[in-house]
Homo-oligomer: A and B are copies of this chain.
Amino acid sequence: MGIFPRKVKGFRDIDSRLNSVRWLIIQKASEVYRRYGFEHWDSPVLEYAELLGKYLPDADDVADGIYSFRNPELEPQFDERGNELRDEQNNVVMTNHFLTMRYDLTAPLARMYSEMVWQRFIHNQLKEGRAPLFRRYQFGPVFRFEAKLDPGRFREFWQLDFDTVGSDDVAVDAENVMVLSDALENIGISRGKYVVRMNNRKLVKGYLRAVGVESEELEQAILRIVDKADKIGMQGVAEELGKGREDKASGAFISGLGLDNRLIDRIMQFFYSFENTPGRAEVLNKLANLNIGNELLDQGLEELRRIDEILSGLNYRDDRAILDPTMIRGMGYYTGPIFEVEYQGTYKDEKGRKRRVGSISGGGRYDGLVERILGLRVPATGASIGVDRLAEVLINQGLVPEYSGPVLIVVFDPGMMIEYQRLALKLRNAGIDTEIYYGNRRGLKQQLSYADQKNSPLALLLGEDELRQNVITVRDLRLGKELADKITDKQQWKEQVQQQVPLDQVVEYVKNKLQK
């Protein structure tokens, strides 16, 4: 009798230790976001699939990459102006719309912003065509159905975004870098252990146009290959731009774009010249000296100069943010300045291999995302911290404060419950997290093993004899663990880790113990 109990594959429960790290990140970063004037908004987990875009399923089937299903509610179909569609008999066309569990927080923001502007249009509150300014931060779970899941990856994970919609000013892009930098330092990552890499899509695009890449499609294809430089190396990039290459790991042949060698050389020239990224000033100089006279590239350079000017003016120097013209970022929707934060450290994976931690956050300017919905050009820029990814980094880099559970009051005698309760009340009133042991398995061993599981710092032992003498025994569980190997004599160990305290001094005693 029963049901085999299990989580959905690819999902996980978050225990209190991991949760404390997740919420440390959210709280410390949110504090910084608010400091810059971003306000906390929230949007639903479910959205109409057509409004999230890109992944719209065209059948009853669930599209690759997302969780999508038919709304149980039957609703009208609308045209793009919000009018109900009608059939030949003039009946409203009804359907069960596709719903999607959000796969990020940016697409819902585009919907939310579009809806707000739309409502103002309808109510004639928007007098000019210029998009209003909107700045918000948001955090929460997002959902991706990745058919093949890498170990340590999950299909539900948390993001923490901040975005500015309705501003062309690249000062915002500069500010984004400051926000991320401040947020990471507030979380506890010291300067020098992270670096923000900045670039501008316009630079690369401009360069590619100048060397003869005309079509948007070819440009995207080239960028996708260059984006893999981290994994396949510069030689691999050159091969994939040309005839293709054999993948050493799988032995499979990866076909190339078939570009001619002269073009490949010119493309690679750009990326080679910035490969070992020096200081921002030097990169800006190099870019100015390219002298290829492409308008888009010049515009991109000008924007980066302005960003550098603001950052330098506020003392955000090369130790926090660098320029890297070879950095691409995967997402196709970025249109201008982009950035990515790299954690400068290594860790050992489950097989003991040393690995670079890599990217923990990123963002950029996306001036086209809202337009898809609203039909109005609305510039936007923002960034996202991968909360669960960063939590993992903080843990494996030892940057997390020790997790501490509540003080545990051991229940020797259920008949003394009122006494235990009164003791708990006193401790709680002094601000001390305190738990009374209520389990059905009442042995002292079980109670202490429970305290151990919860990483309780102290156990309070109060029996009838002690109550009569107005004393209580306080056991230091952490010290107990520490000394367990060193002191084998049980009595001696007890003397070290236990202390009898007058009952009316226990609150002060516990407080002092915990402050150490």
Query: Which residue in B47, B62, B80, B313 is a CB contact (below 8 Å) of A8?
Result: B47
Interface bits A154-195 vs B (CB < 8 Å: 1, else 0): 001000000010111101100100000000000000000000
CB nearest neighbor in B for A145: B72
CB pair B169–A414 under 8 Å, yes or no, is yes
Query: In the complex, A227→B214 CA distance in Å?
Result: 72
CB pair A19–B36 under 8 Å, yes or no, is no
CB interface residues, A 15-52, toward B, < 8 Å: 15-16, 19-20, 22-23, 34-37, 39-48, 50-51
Query: In the complex, A384→B131 CA distance in Å?
Result: 42
Q: Which of A202-210, A355-363, A417-425 contacts B (4 or more CB under 8 A)?
A: A417-425
Query: In the complex, A12→B112 CA distance in Å?
Result: 10
Shortest Cβ distance from residue A336 to the other chain B in the assembled complex, whole angstroms? 14
CB interface residues, A 101-149, toward B, < 8 Å: 101, 111-112, 114-115, 118, 128, 130-133, 135-136, 141, 143, 145, 147
How many A residues have CB within 8 A of the partner chain?
A: 109
Chain B residues closer than 8 Å to A81, beta-carbon distance:
4
Chain B residues closer than 8 Å to A422, beta-carbon distance:
313-314
CB interface residues, A 368-396, toward B, < 8 Å: 372-375, 379
CB pair A5–B42 under 8 Å, yes or no, is no
Query: Which residue in B7, B16, B47, B406 is a CB contact (below 8 Å) of A7?
Result: B47
The answer to whether A69 has its CB under 8 Å from any CB of chain B is yes
The answer to whether A331 has its CB under 8 Å from any CB of chain B is no
Q: Which of A34, A130, A169, A172 has the most CB of B within 10 A?
A: A169
Q: Which of A245-253, A429-437, A495-503 contacts B (4 or more CB under 8 A)?
A: A429-437
Query: In the complex, A379→B75 CA distance in Å?
Result: 44
Chain B residues closer than 8 Å to A71, beta-carbon distance:
8
Chain B residues closer than 8 Å to A450, beta-carbon distance:
132-133
CB pair B19–A118 under 8 Å, yes or no, is no
The answer to whether A9 has its CB under 8 Å from any CB of chain B is yes
Shortest Cβ distance from residue A166 to the other chain B in the assembled complex, whole angstroms? 6
The answer to whether A347 has its CB under 8 Å from any CB of chain B is no
Chain B residues closer than 8 Å to A171, beta-carbon distance:
417, 421, 436, 438
The answer to whether A290 has its CB under 8 Å from any CB of chain B is no
The answer to whether A398 has its CB under 8 Å from any CB of chain B is no
Chain B residues closer than 8 Å to A99, beta-carbon distance:
8, 67
CB pair B4–A78 under 8 Å, yes or no, is yes
Shortest Cβ distance from residue A210 to the other chain B in the assembled complex, whole angstroms? 29
CB nearest neighbor in B for A11: B44
The answer to whether A405 has its CB under 8 Å from any CB of chain B is yes
Give the number of copies in the complex. Answer: 2
Query: In the complex, A106→B5 CA distance in Å?
Result: 15
CB pair B379–A440 under 8 Å, yes or no, is yes
A6-B51, A7-B115, A8-B48 given; A375·B167 CB < 8 A: no
A5-B111, A7-B47, A20-B40 given; A145·B73 CB < 8 A: yes
Chain B residues closer than 8 Å to A132, beta-carbon distance:
439, 441, 450
Query: In the complex, A90→B2 CA distance in Å?
Result: 24
Shortest Cβ distance from residue A69 to the other chain B in the assembled complex, whole angstroms? 3
CB pair A80–B3 under 8 Å, yes or no, is yes
Query: In the complex, A186→B317 CA distance in Å?
Result: 44
CB pair A3–B73 under 8 Å, yes or no, is no
Chain B residues closer than 8 Å to A97, beta-carbon distance:
8
A34-B433, A35-B433 given; A3·B172 CB < 8 A: no
CB pair B4–A454 under 8 Å, yes or no, is no
CB pair A130–B440 under 8 Å, yes or no, is yes
CB pair B39–A405 under 8 Å, yes or no, is yes
CB pair B4–A80 under 8 Å, yes or no, is yes
Query: In the complex, A432→B112 CA distance in Å?
Result: 28
A169-B414, A421-B310 given; A13·B44 CB < 8 A: yes
Query: In the complex, A450→B165 CA distance in Å?
Result: 13
CB pair A115–B5 under 8 Å, yes or no, is yes
The answer to whether A59 has its CB under 8 Å from any CB of chain B is no
CB pair A156–B45 under 8 Å, yes or no, is yes
Rank and list the top 4 A-B pairs by shortest CB-CB distance, nearest first.
Answer: A37-B435, A133-B439, A69-B69, A2-B375
Can you list 6 contacts pairing A with B, beta carbon distance less than 8 Å?
A3-B50, A8-B44, A9-B75, A13-B43, A34-B433, A39-B454
